[in-house]
Structure 1
Amino acid sequence: MAQEQEPQKNPTNAQSAAPEEPVRVNHTARNIIIALVVVVLVVAGVLVGVHVKNSGKNAAKGTKDNPVVIGVIGATDKQWPVLQQKAEEQGIYVTIQDFQDYAAVDKALAAGQIDLNEIQHILYLANFNEKNNTDLQPIGGTAVYPLGLYSSKYKSVDDIQAGDTIAIPNDETNQARAIGVLKSAGLITLKDDWTAFSTPADIDTDKSKVKVTTLDGNKIAHSLSDSQIAAGVINNDYVEDAGLKPTDALYQDSADTEEAHPYINIWAARKEDANNELYLKIAKLSADPDVENALQEQSGGSASLADNYTPEQLQQILADLQKQIESQE
């Protein structure tokens, strides 16, 4: 018997075949490998970062990897690149970090965010320490920026007549300093010793050659044209604006006068670093002739250099001022 053949399916009549299911491949092994690679890369990155960070910490202070950071206001001042160069010649690397606010620089120093700063005179530091319960210390002096006595009527202090009236600033800091200038010039006598907190009430008017009146600091230069004002003590900030030059002053304080001691600009460090040889060496660079020349150029020749004071002398001035501040409270 002949075998019956299965009839062929007519493709025009048959239903379309169902699509094939995609082949399911197991990627578990591959994903594990990728995850491991990612973990290794992340760990390696962290280790490199830690190494870089620690390499700076482990490097000796003052090296290229761990420079001494100095906080300043006015990083573009002429003396800073000269000081950096002089430091590098001695194998010391420093970084000049610019700030815009005086208190912020001292706070950064106290917090250990910078190593040194050079922004202020001793009286400012004394007030900061007292107000913030800190113990920053001066380790070197730079200069005093003199406060001058100016006149449009006289050419010298000797020309000033008995009974003349002299104007001084009425703000607390400059007022006391101006009184010190007049005392040093021999124009007034005080009832007691001068301090950085002296006021017009401390002037012995019967024994003084001149009378003293107080004005806003920014008005004194213009008051020189007043027939009732013989002379005025003008803050440096207003000298140039008034068309005057520091060399026009009849008299000005200097770093050598006792009355100018609170106004010596200084290098400041944390108390625990007050004897740090590296930091002391940097502070002494202020006395380098090239650095001083740049400083004088920056100040227009008005700076009275104060690099001959020892850290101990400066620290004693600071201690005395802080005691005076405490007694005022």
Structure 2
Amino acid sequence: MSKKKLWAALAALPLVATLAACSGSAADESAEKGTAENPVKIGVVGASDPYWQTYTEAAADEGITVEIVDFGEYTQPNPALSEGDIDINQFQHVIYLAQYNEASGDDLTPIGATAIYPLGLYSTQYDSVDDIPDGAEVAVPNDESNQARGLLVLQSAGLIELKDGGSVFSTVADVDESASRVKVTALEASLTPTSLPDLAAAIINNDFVEDAGLKASDAIAQDDPADPNAVPYINIFVTKAEDADNEVYNKLVEIYHNSQDVLDGVQETAGGTAQFVDTPAKELQASLDEVVADIKAKG
């Protein structure tokens, strides 16, 4: 799907998340937010993951009542937040939020980070990036989002150089071949693991790593959370813009990072791939603004 079609589809999404999605009785909005009478409603995709119960208990220990609201699709939590059916959501990375805001004309705002789920470079021939010979062929997925991200991983690993430093919209055409160590080929994402015997290495989406008989720990390179290019792929807590400074909501971000039981639960669910980051909200907002500007520039 083209970006224009994606944004149009996002803009046209109906509000499928209603109060019926919420469990329990209606909140007493006159009560203080975070009390049992008026819990903080956090929208997620995958509320059955055990760490959300752990998180709810950790919040209760800090005197904040949280209600986790489950959504079946990624398209649902942002409209629900915009309409006030929930107070916070936590399911998306910065790029997804930028695309939603630009398509809908909304101004939903990140208030805290959670983790990056890395995109990795794998090889069955070489044990490290340094072992890959000059001129070797390396594959990236051909879908727009993962292609750009894969190219940024290759650049961070020192295998390629991208013209103008690269962006979340980079393609294989943006590779500066004269300054790069390897040749890059774009393949359909499901083919990158099966093509490994014929390649020096390949970027493999997390969904296909296990199916390829690999483990996340087999990656010879992956997103570096310290690299500014990785910031748009950080998963985030999001509120309405007017709630960005809400003390209770910001305390809930702190609770996520301060509870080792929560972090352990997230890591178990992620199969050990989560890289936790506590990027300040101002940096997340700056990244969001940059991606939105790039979207506008691309038209």
CA contact (8 A) 1:103 1:128 kept: no
Task: Show the counterpart of 2:102.
Answer: 130
CA contact (8 A) 1:156 1:250 kept: yes
Tell me how far 1:95 sits from its aligned partner. 0.6
Verify: 1:148 aligned to 2:123, yes or no.
Answer: no
Verify: 1:297 aligned to 2:291, yes or no.
Answer: no
Task: Show the counterpart of 2:164.
Answer: 192
Tell me how far 1:207 sits from its aligned partner. 1.2
User: d(CA) in 2 for partners of 1:284 and 1:110?
Assistant: 23
Greater alpha carbon shift after TM alignment, 127-136 vs 290-299:
290-299
Task: Show the counterpart of 1:323.
Answer: 293
Verify: 1:310 aligned to 2:280, yes or no.
Answer: yes
Verify: 1:233 aligned to 2:203, yes or no.
Answer: yes
TM-score by length of 1: 0.81
Among 194, 212, 215, the residue aligned to 1:242: 212
Q: Identity across aligned pairs (percent)? A: 48
What SS is found at the alignment partner of 1:192? helix
Q: Which runs of 4+ in 1 moved over 4 A?
A: none
Task: Show the counterpart of 1:106.
Answer: 78
Residue identity opposite 2:195 in structure 1: S
Give the number of the structure whose alpha-carbon radius of gyration is greater: 1
What SS is found at the alignment partner of 2:179? coil
User: d(CA) in 1 for partners of 2:164 and 2:283?
Assistant: 23
Task: Show the counterpart of 1:117.
Answer: 89
User: Deviation per CA, 1:247-303, whole angstroms, max 9, x where unpaired?
Assistant: 000111132112211100000000010111110001121212221111111111111
What SS is found at the alignment partner of 1:300? coil
Task: Show the counterpart of 1:202.
Answer: 174
Residue identity opposite 1:265 in structure 2: N
CA RMSD, 1 decimal: 1.2
User: Deviation per CA, 1:120-140, whole angstroms, max 9, x where unpaired?
Assistant: 000010001001111101000
What SS is found at the alignment partner of 1:255? coil
Task: Show the counterpart of 1:168.
Answer: 140
Q: Which runs of 5+ in 1 are unaligned?
A: 1-51
Q: Which runs of 5+ in 2 are unaligned?
A: 1-24
Task: Show the counterpart of 2:196.
Answer: 224
Residue identity opposite 2:286 in structure 1: Q
TM-score by length of 2: 0.89
Tell me how far 1:241 sits from its aligned partner. 1.4
Tell me how far 1:197 sits from its aligned partner. 0.7
Tell me how far 1:103 sits from its aligned partner. 1.5
User: Deviation per CA, 1:218-240, whole angstroms, max 9, x where unpaired?
Assistant: 110000022xx111000111111
Residue identity opposite 1:306 in structure 2: V
Tell me how far 1:317 sits from its aligned partner. 0.9
Q: How many residues align?
A: 274
User: d(CA) in 2 for partners of 1:207 and 1:255?
Assistant: 24
Verify: 1:270 aligned to 2:269, yes or no.
Answer: no
